[in-house]
Structure 1
Amino acid sequence: MNFILYDGIEWKKLFPITLTRPVSEIRLGLFTIKERWEKYIGKNVESIITQPFLSKKFSKKESLFFENILLINSAFLPNEELIQILFSLKENETIFFKEKMIAIKKNFFLGKENIHSLFLKKCKKTYHVNKIIHIQYPSDIFINNETVIKKDFLFFTNGKKSSSLLGNNHVICRDKIFLEEDIKANNVVLNAEHGPIYIEKGVEIMEGSVIRGPVAIGKHTTLNMGAKIYGATTIATFCKIGGEIFNSVIFSYSNKVHDGFLGNSILGEWCNLGAGTNISNLRNDYQKVTVWDYEKKDFSHTNLQFFGLIMGDHSKSSINTQFNTATIVGVSDNIFGYGFPPRYIPSFFLGGIQKKKRIPFNKVCETAEIMMNRRNVNFSLLDRKILEYLYQLLDI
C-alpha cells in the first residue's frame, strides 16, 4: 500500500509559512509532518499533492497515476489509533475527525483529479477518530509543540541508546534526555524535569547555555554562549541561535544569533533576526490578540493571549527591531527603522514604520543566493521560480 499526502483547505490558512512549502513540510516536535508520517507508516511517501507552483520542488514523482493508495490530509498528525484504522481500510472507505476528512483509500487515483470532489462521493464506510492534532493555523504549530515533542520523543527513542555527553555539564533527569553522536557541550545545563530534550548529531552548545525541556534541536545547529532555551521549543537543522527563546519553532537554516527575546513564534527557513531584535508575545492590557487573516485581508479576533511573531522564509530584521504582539511577516522582507513595524507586512517589502517599498525581484534573488551559498546550499532554479510566482501576486 502506498500513501500520498495532500494539501487541503488548511494550506491557505497557514500563510505565510506555507507560501513556500506544502503543509507536509511544516516542522514541529522532532520532525516535519512528512517525516512523521513516514516514520509511523514505515515507508516513504509516494507523492505530495500541493499547489502547482510548489509541485516540481516537493512532489518528486511525475506520474499522475497511482494504484493501491491512501490519500491523507497533511494537516493531521498521525497517532496510534489513526494508524491502526488506516491499515484496515478497504477501497473507498474514509476516516473523519468531526466533519473533516483525514484519509481515504482508493484502488487507483489520478493525480489531476480534484481531491475535494471525493467528499461529495458516497463512501462505503466511514470511521471516526476521537482525538487528533489538526494544524489549521500557524499558531497551532507552537500551541501543540509541547505535546508533539513529548510524543515524538517516546516514539522515536523507544529501544534506542543515547550517546554520552562529554565535558563538565549539569544534567537533570538524564533518562529524559536523548543525545545523538558528536555533540559538543561544556559548562551547560540540560534540565528535562518538565519535558524531554532531544539533540541531534553535530550540535554545538557553547558554555553558559541553559536548555529546559521539552526541547528538540536539529543537527549541526549552534547555540551561542549564554543561550536560554525554554520549552516547548523546536530548533531545526543548521541554525545559529542565541538569546532567550520560549515556546517557538525555528525552521532550518535560520538565525537568531544574538541577545533578544523570541516567544510563541515561528521563523521560516533562511530567516535572520538582527542583534537586539525583540518580540512581544503578550499585550500590555492582557487582552486576546487579533491576527492578520490573509483570506479576509484584515485582522481577525482570536482566543489567544500569547502570540509573538510569524515570519515567512527569507525574511530579515535589522538590529534593535521591536516586533509588536501577534505580528505577521511575509516572505523575503527586509525590516528596519525606528518604532514598531506594522503588525502585518506583505512579502518582498523593504522598511518598517516609515514608508515601505517593494524590493526589486533581482535583489530578492541576490540576497537569497548569498545567504544560501554561505551555508553551501544552492539557490536553485526551482527556488527562484517559487519566489517569482509569489512576487507576481499582490498582498501576500
Structure 2
Amino acid sequence: MRALVFEDDLCERFAPLTLTRHVSQLVWGTRTIWQSLQRLTKEELVPLGRNYLADVTRERLHVEYNPEVEEEVLLVNGRVRPDAQFERVLRSEPKSAVLFRDRLVMARLSKQQFATVVGEAGLVTPRAVARLAKELGTSEGHDATLFENIWEIVQSNGYAIVLQGHNEKEMAPPPRLSNVKGPSSNLMISAEAEVEEITSFDLSKGPVIIDDGAHIEAFSQVAGPSYIGPKARLHAALIRSGTTIGEECRIGGEVENSIMMSYTNKSHHGYVGDSIVGEWVNLGAGSTFSNLKNTYGSVKMEVDGKKIDTNLVKLGPMVGDMAKVSIGCMVFAGKKIGVGSQVMNLVRDDVPSFTLYDGRNSHGVELKLESAILTQQRMMDRRGMALSKAGERASLSS
C-alpha cells in the first residue's frame, strides 16, 4: 500500500514558500516534512497536489506525482506535524478518517473512495473531506495536529530540532580553543565538517547539529537548538536558538529562531529573526528583518487577503525562493516577499512575486520574467548549478 501525501486548499496559507514547492517540502527542524514522513511510515510515499508543481516535484523527489490509484491507499496531509503524537496515531492504523479541526489528517481509502476526493486542481477539498467523514466515520480528538499557518512552523522549529536531535554519523570533538557551555552530548559535529578554533557553542537549551561538509569559521557563536546543514558556511556568525541553516547556505551576521532554506546567501552583517527564507535568496550586506513592533503588540500577517492577528509579539518576514534583498534594506515584521522579487530601501508592504519594490511605490513595478530568470541563472552559475526547465516553469507559474 502506498501513502499519498496530499495538499488541500490551506496550502496557500504557507505562501510564498509553497508557491514553488509541495507543502510537504517545507522545512521543519533538520529536515522537510516529507523526509520526516519517510522515517515514520513504512509505506512508499507519493505526492498528491497542485498540478503545476508536477515536474519540479518529480525532479526533487524522483517519484510519481498525482498517480493513478489501483488499490487501497493511505492519505496523509502534507501539512501534518510529524511528531511523536502523529507517529502514535499512524501506528494505531485507525479505520476511520482522522480529523483535526474538520480537516483531514489521514485516512485509508479504497480505489473508489479515492476517486471522489481529489479536485481538478489536484487538491483535496473541504467538501470531499466532509463526504469522506460521513462515509468512514471520524476520529476527532487524536493528538495528531496540522500546521494551519506558516508562523506555526517557525515558532516550533526549535522544538523540532530537539525532537530530531540525534545523529548516527561519526562525530568529531569540538576544536581545542572552542568554548562549550552546557552538556557536551548536545554538540554533534560531523566528522566531515570543519570547525575552526575560537568558536562558541551554547548547548544549555538544546543540541547544536553540524552536518557533513559544513564549515564554521572562527568567532562564530551557535546556540542550541540549532542545525547547520551540509556544506553550509558560517562567516563569524551569531546563530541563536531555534535556527535551521540549509544546505550550502552562506551565513554571516545574526540569525535567530529562523529557517534559512538551501543555497541562500546572507554572508554579511544584518539581522534575520523569526522568519522563513526560501531557497536561492540573496540578502545584501546590512539588510535587516524586523520581528518586533515598536508597540510590542502582536504582529499581524495578511493571509488569504485578510489581516490575521498571529498573537505573536515576535514574527519576522517570510521570503519566497529566488528573492533578492538589497544592501541596507529594512523589512517590516510579518511582511511577505514573493518569488523572484527584488526589494530595496524600506519594505512596509507585502510584495507580490516578480516585483521590483523600492519602498516608494506600495505596489512596486512588475519585473520582466526573462530578467528574473536570467538573474537566477547567474546566481546558480556561481555555485556550478543550473536552473532546470521544471524549476523555471514552477517559478513562472507561482
TM-score normalised per structure 1: 0.90
| CA–CA separation in structure 2 for the residues paired with 1:217 and 1:144 | 17
Distance 1:224 1:50, change over 3 A: same
- Map Cα deviations across residues 259-309 of structure 1 (whole Å, 9 max, x no partner): 11111111011101100011111111111222122x22x533331211111
Matched, 1:36 2:49: no
Instruction: Determine the C-alpha separation between the residues in 2 that align with 1:352 and 1:199.
Output: 37
Letter in 2 for 1:323: V
Q: Check whether the contact 2:2–2:73 (CA below 8 A) recurs between aligned residues.
A: yes
1:80 aligns with 2:84: yes
Residue correspondence of structure 1 range 303-322 to structure 2 within 5 A: 303-322=311-330
Q: Say whether residues 1:359 and 2:363 are aligned partners.
A: no
What residue number does 1:260 align with? 270
1:105 partner letter: R
Residues 278 and 82 of structure 1: CA distance in aligned 2, closer, same or farther (over 3 Å): closer
Residue 384 of structure 2 corresponds to residue 376 of structure 1: yes
CA distance in 2, matches of 1:10, 1:281: 24
CA RMSD of aligned residues (A): 2.1
Which one-letter code corresponds to 1:221 in the other structure?
Answer: A
Assess, with a 3 A threshold, how the Cα gap between structure 1 residues 351 and 101 changes in structure 2: closer, same or farther.
closer
Q: Within the alignment, does 1:350 sit opposite 2:356 as a pair?
A: yes
Question: Does the CA contact (< 8 Å) of 2:355 and 2:366 recur in 1?
Answer: yes
Tell whether 2:214 aligns with 1:214: no
Q: Map 1:293-312 to 2 at 5 A.
A: 293=303, 295-296=304-305, 298-312=306-320
Asked if the contact 1:37/1:77 (under 8 Å) is kept, the reply is no
SS of residue matched to 1:171: strand
Letter aligned with residue 57 of structure 2 = F
Deviation of 1:377 (Å): 2.2
Q: In the alignment, what sits opposite 1:393?
A: none
Matched, 1:58 2:64: no
The structural deviation recorded for 1:167 is 4.5
Gaps of 5+ in 2: none
Q: Percent identity?
A: 25
Q: Judge conservation of contact 2:214–2:233 (CA < 8 Å) in 1.
A: yes
Aligned residues: 380
Q: Does structure 1 conserve the Cα–Cα contact (< 8 Å) formed by 2:105 and 2:145?
A: no
Tell me the amino acid that sits aligned with residue 173 of structure 2. S
Match for residue 237 of structure 1? Answer: 247
The one of 318, 336, 343 aligned to 1:335: 343
Contact in 1 for aligned 2:86/2:145 (Cα 8 Å): no
- Which of 294, 298, 307 is residue 288 of structure 1 equivalent to? 298
Partner deviation per Cα, 1:24-65 (whole Å, 9 max, x = no partner): 0000201100000001124551x1111110022214315412
Looking at structure 1, the residues matched to 316 and 327 of structure 2 have their Cα atoms a distance apart, in angstroms, of: 18
TM-score, normalised with respect to structure 2: 0.89
Deviation for aligned residue 1:110: 4.7
**Paired residue secondary structure (2:71):** strand
Alpha-carbon contact 1:5-1:49 (below 8 Å) kept: yes
**Which amino acid letter does the alignment assign opposite residue 270 of structure 1?**
W
Superposed CA deviations along residues 7-38 of structure 1, whole A, max 9, x for unmatched, are 12221111111111111000020110000000
Contact 2:154-2:275 within 8 A present in 1 as well: yes
Rounded Cα–Cα distance in structure 2 between residues aligned with 1:49 and 1:39: 19
Indicate the larger mover: 131-140 or 24-33.
131-140
Change (3 A) 1:48 1:376: same
Would you say the 8 A contact 1:177–1:198 is kept in 2?
Answer: yes
Do 1:66 and 1:111's aligned partners in 2 also have CA atoms closer than 8 Å? no
Deviation at 1:99, TM superposition (A): 2.6
Corresponding residue number in structure 2 for 1:169: 178
What does 1:267-286 align with in structure 2 at a 5 Å threshold?
267-286=277-296
Equivalent residue, structure 1, for 2:98: 95
Helix, strand or coil for the counterpart of 1:292?
Answer: strand
Alpha-carbon distance, 1:152 to partner: 1.2
The separation in 2 between residues aligned to 1:190 and 1:44, in whole angstroms, is 39
Give the C-alpha shift of residue 111 in structure 1: 9.7
Report how far residue 161 of structure 1 moved: 5.4
- Residue 377 of structure 2 aligns to a residue whose secondary structure is helix
Relative distance call for 1:146 and 1:111 in structure 2 (3 A) is farther
- 1:309 & 1:93 partners in 2: Cα distance? 39
CA contact (8 A) 1:94 1:123 kept: no
8 Å Cα contact 1:291-1:326 kept in structure 2: yes
Tell me if the contact between 1:308 and 1:325 (Cα under 8 Å) persists in the aligned partners. Answer: yes
Report deviation, 1:82: 2.9
